[in-house]
Amino acid sequence: MPANKNKKDSKNQESVGRVRFPKKEENEQFAIVTQLMGANQVRALCQDGQERMCRIPGKLRKRVWVRANDLVIVKVWDFQPTKADIAWRFLGNQVEWLKRKGALEGLPI
């Protein structure tokens, strides 16, 4: 009997775990990255229908790689609502779970 039998079985099961939702009281919402602008800037289509310039803060810059068509949570600036900061990036299985639950309405996914 192979020693790594249980490891194979655990790889086939994709668990979602805890999924972070946007905090409405902090002006957060779902968005899809449409274009990488260079440096730490991206353009994202937000859930309210607006396209915003988003900044990847230093906390996420080298730890989380953001690509086009990624689902993210953005925090809209209160003093300049055409810009936002990226707060979170979702993985593939988390995106599928959010789609099934109906949380991504208003986004072209």
Domain 21-101: which topology?
OB fold (Dihydrolipoamide Acetyltransferase, E2P) (2.40.50)
CB 86 within 8 A of CB 42: yes
Q: Strand ranges (DSSP E) for 16-109? A: 28-38, 41-46, 51-55, 71-76, 83-89
Amino acid at 82: T
What's the pLDDT band for 1 if we cut at 50, 70, 90? low
CB 52 within 8 A of CB 77: no
What's the mean per-residue pLDDT of the chain? 87
User: What pLDDT, in 10s, does the model give residues 21-34?
Assistant: 999 999 999 999 99
Q: Tell me the CA end-to-end span of the chain in Å, nearest whole number.
A: 44
Say if pTM beats, i.e. exceeds, 0.85: no
